[in-house]
Amino acid sequence: MMIKNNSYCLMTTALATGLGVTSYSLAASWVMDYLESNPTISHYIPPLDHGSIDMNSATHTQANVVLAAITPRNMSLVGERISWTITALDGETMGKIYSLQGANQRLNLPKGLYRVTLIIGAYRSTKTIKIDAKQPHEERFIADIGRIVAQANESVVWTIEPLEGGKIIHLAERSTISLVVGSGLYKVDASLKGLHRAERVRVTQGSQVESNLFIPAGRVNLIATRDNAPLFRPTTWNIYRIENGERREVGEYNRHVQAVTMPPGHYEAVAKSENIVRSREFWVGSGATNDVQVPMD
Confidence of residue 87 (pLDDT cuts 50, 70, 90): very high
Coil, helix or strand at residue 191: strand
| Torsion 217-223-224-226 (CA) sign | negative
Confidence label for 132 from pLDDT (cuts 50, 70 and 90):
confident
What CA–CA distance (Å, rounded) separates 253 from 273? 12
- Write down how long the chain is: 297
Q: What is the pLDDT of residue 290?
A: 93
pLDDT of residue 135: 79
As a whole number of angstroms, the distance between CA 190 and CA 141 comes to: 32
Whether the Cβ atoms of residue 146 and residue 204 lie closer than 8 Å to each other: yes
Do the domains at 2-143 and 146-213 have one common CATH topology?
Answer: yes
**pLDDT number for residue 133:** 65
Min mean pLDDT across 44-48, 173-177, 234-238 is at 44-48
DSSP assigned state of 33: H
Measuring CA to CA, which residue among 181, 124, 125 is closest to residue 150?
A: 181
pLDDT in the model for residue 49: 31
User: How many C-beta atoms surround the C-beta of residue 106 within 10 A?
Assistant: 24
Distance CA 210, CA 30 (A): 35
Q: Which amino acid is at 13?
A: T
Amino acid 139: pLDDT: 94
Which bin fits 206, alpha (ψ -120 to 50), beta or left (φ > 0)?
Answer: left
Residue ranges per structural domain of the chain? 2-143, 146-213, 218-295
**Of 16 and 229, the one with more pLDDT:** 229
Asked whether residue 213 carries a pLDDT value surpassing 60, the answer given is: yes
pLDDT band at 38; cut points 50, 70, 90: low
Given a contact cutoff of 8 angstroms between Cβ atoms, the answer to whether 23 and 63 are in contact is no
Q: What is 218-295's CATH number, 2.60.40.1120, 1.10.10.350, 1.10.132.20, 3.50.30.10?
A: 2.60.40.1120
SS3 281: strand
Do the beta carbons of residue 148 and residue 160 sit within 8 Å?
Answer: yes
User: How would residue 50 be classed by pLDDT, with cut points 50, 70 and 90?
Assistant: very low
Q: Assign 141 to helix, strand or coil.
A: strand
Q: Which of 57, 103, 105 is nearest to 81 (CA)?
A: 103
99 vs 25 pLDDT, higher one: 99
**CA separation for the pair 19, 14 (Å, rounded):** 10
Domain 2-143 has CATH 2.40.110.10: no
pLDDT digits (tens, 9 = 90+) for 96-127: 999 999 999 999 888 899 999 999 999 999 99
Share of the chain above pLDDT 90, in %: 70
Task: Supply the pLDDT for residue 13.
Answer: 29
* CATH code for the domain defined by 146-213: 2.60.40.1120
pLDDT band, residue 92 (cuts 50/70/90)? confident
Full-model pTM: 0.74
Q: C-alpha angle with apex 69: 39 to 65, nearest 5 degrees?
A: 125
pLDDT tens digit string along 193-208?
989 999 999 999 999 9
